[in-house]
Chains A and B, each alone.
Chain A
Amino acid sequence: MSVTTVSHPAAQRGFALGRLTLVELRMLLRERSRLIRMVIPFVLLVIFGSIPFYTHDRASLGGYSLFDAYLPILVSYALAMVALTGLATVLAGYREKGVLRRLQTTPAGPVRVLAAQIISQLAVVAVMVVLIIAVARLGYGVFLPRQAAGFVIAALLAAAALLSLGLLVAAVSKNSQAAQGIGLVLFFPLMFFAGLFFPIPVMPAFLQHLSHATPLGAAVGAMSAAWVGHWPQALQLWTLAAYAVGCGLAAARFFRWE
């Protein structure tokens, strides 16, 4: 029995990480429950955008509406969802199934698959954020972030912070069930301090300070500032960077491949 050998010419061989990322992305988009979860922020957008109470401008908010203030919170919701129910559970599931171990015996190695997952989830969240802003602009007349560069930086740092947190959850979770559980436990406090349940400016001072120390609280603060045209507060950007680096280092320290 003979099997022909194929030798890839250098051009065809390309980049293993690139190919892995495409496959990971395709797999992400095949799961129906995940696609449904991705639609939720848009459903919320439509609901709140249709309620006049939320959409009329208020002097108390400097001429902005509750809906305007709500958008950075929606963006944070998308970030948390992708990082905790997406990245964390997929990676923990890979470890549980022996996928990472199997890749250790191949030239690609498990680190590349981890990177491919992170890049895929980042791509998903980037598309979601862009769409949220686009739908708000086109459907509800909300202005685009005025301090565009500041907003992009704030959003990227927020994504880094949340994805790092997702990695840390994956690192310490035995399996995808555990990751889901931990993600759920983290999700509510994170979203509370992001102002999902009631806006940060309405919180008592002590809770406001606390919320700015949490990743999503800092994210909402930074993105809100950029949205209305100010450069985000340095402290909030540093907070996000600290979470990104800290969780990332902790994840690297605790991550088990099997």
Chain B
Amino acid sequence: MPAVIDVQGLHKRYGDTVAVDDVSLTVAEGEIFGILGRNGAGKTTTVECIEGLRRPDRGEIRVLGLDPRRERAELTQVLGAQLQDSQLPDAIGVAEALKLYSSFYRAPADWHEIMDMLGLASKAKTAFGKLSGGQKQRVSIALALVGNPRVAVLDELTTGLDPQARRDTWDLIEGVRSRGVTIVLVTHFMEEAERLCDRVAVIDAGRVIALDTPAALAEQAEEQQRIQFRPSVPFDDTLLTSLPDVTSVIHRGDVVVVTGNSNALNAVTSVLARQQIVARQLRVEQASLEDAFVELTGRHPSGQPETV
């Protein structure tokens, strides 16, 4: 089956800064494809080229067989975009905007249903400028979907949403995908990528440094396990650091945090048992996408709090 989105050798610079440096990726029909990276990594420029908003300096892009720049009119009928930082005029009403936008498309969705789907029915007559940040975000998503697109590009989907609204939006996106829409999700939020994406492209400094399923990427992280506990009696760190499966031991107040490879848990609990040290409030975490990301890029994604 031909790819829905095919990007080959994309290159884009602004003045002296190279924003996107030889990015290639393909998106298959019906998948949720994540583009993950820190702010400024080149994610937004990449999708703007896919959407036809920017002209690449080099490279070929095809979306559903269309050239985003030269066949923009046709592309806009089948691609819906939710743009970061793009607002509507303050004075426009929610229902007014949905109705207006739906009228642009040949075969739009029923905008009443979209409004209900996104929980905006109670705000139908409210002016855009009077909505909360989360509500504005939902209107933005609604506008991306109202044209019944075959491909939806969502940039920073859940920024500014509270945790419940975030989860509701994730459910919504999975529902949209189950209707056969291909989704490109740009995010710097690890949990979102892990939860939603079939495959993820990790972009750093304008290049794709990894492209795989979230699970496969997580498995590539060297530090596979993180074990936390409160020891019943204090002990010397070398007890654990001498183990070959353990990478590091740090203390956070009373809590001991041990990181190591996938065999670390076995090794640590054996040693503690032999010393008759009880590990209280034991917690084990498998490596996540975030760990893989940090190892791949050498830095934490911006905006993320330091996690253990």
B91 touches A31 (CB 8 A): yes
Identify which of A13-21, A68-76, A201-209, A215-223 touches chain B. Answer: A13-21
List CB contacts (< 8 Å) of B85-129 with chain A: 85-89, 91-92, 96, 100-110, 113-114, 117, 127
CB distance from B113 to the nearest CB of A (A): 5
Please tell me which stretch of A36-44, A96-104, A135-143 contacts chain B, meaning at least 4 of its Cβ atoms lie within 8 angstroms of it. A96-104
Given contacts A98-B86, A99-B86, A6 and B100 within 8 Å (CB-CB): no
- Distance in Å: Cβ of B308 to nearest Cβ of chain A: 37
Verify B178–A107 contact, CB threshold 8 A.
no
Decide: B110 and A5 in contact? CB cutoff 8 A: yes
Contact indicator per residue, chain A 1-38, by CB within 8 Å of chain B (1) or not (0): 11111111000011010011001001100110000000
Question: C-beta contact mask, B143-157 vs A, less than 8 Å → 1, else 0?
Answer: 100011000000000
* Cα-based distance from A31 to B129 in the complex (angstroms): 12
Indicate whether B51 reaches chain A with its CB closer than 8 angstroms.
yes
Instruction: Provide the A109-131 mask, 1 if CB < 8 A to any CB of B, else 0.
Output: 10000000000000000000000
Q: In the complex, which residues of chain A have a beta carbon less than 8 angstroms from the beta carbon of B91?
A: 27, 30-31
Q: Is A245 at the interface (CB under 8 A from chain B)?
A: no
- We find that the number of chain B residues with CB closer than 8 angstroms to chain A is 40
- A105 & B103 in contact (Cβ 8 Å cutoff): no
State A16–B176 Cα separation when bound (angstroms).
27
Do the beta carbons of A5 and B108 come within 8 Å of each other? yes
Are B51 and A107 in touch, CB under 8 angstroms?
Answer: no
Residue among A14, A16, A105, A107 with most chain B CB within 10 A: A105
Within the complex, the shortest CB–CB distance from B289 to chain A, in Å, comes to 27
Chain A residues near B53: list those with CB within 8 A: 101, 104-105
- Supposing A2-B179, A5-B110, A98-B83 touch, asked if A106 and B88 sit within 8 A by C-beta, the answer is no
Known A-B contacts A104-B53, A105-B76, A107-B76; A99 and B107 likewise in contact (beta carbons under 8 Å): no
Asked if B92 and A106 make an inter-chain contact with CB atoms under 8 angstroms apart, the answer reads no
Q: Is A149 positioned at the interface, with any CB of B under 8 Å from its CB?
A: no
Query: Is A94 at the interface (CB under 8 A from chain B)?
Result: yes
Cross-chain contact A8 with B103 (CB below 8 angstroms)? yes
Please give 9 more A-B residue pairs, beta carbons under 8 A apart, in addition to A6-B107, A102-B86: A3-B110, A3-B114, A4-B113, A6-B108, A23-B92, A27-B89, A99-B87, A99-B89, A102-B88
Where the two chains meet, the residues of A that have a C-beta atom closer than 8 Å to any C-beta of B are 1-8, 13-14, 16, 19-20, 23, 26-27, 30-31, 93-94, 97-99, 101-102, 104-109
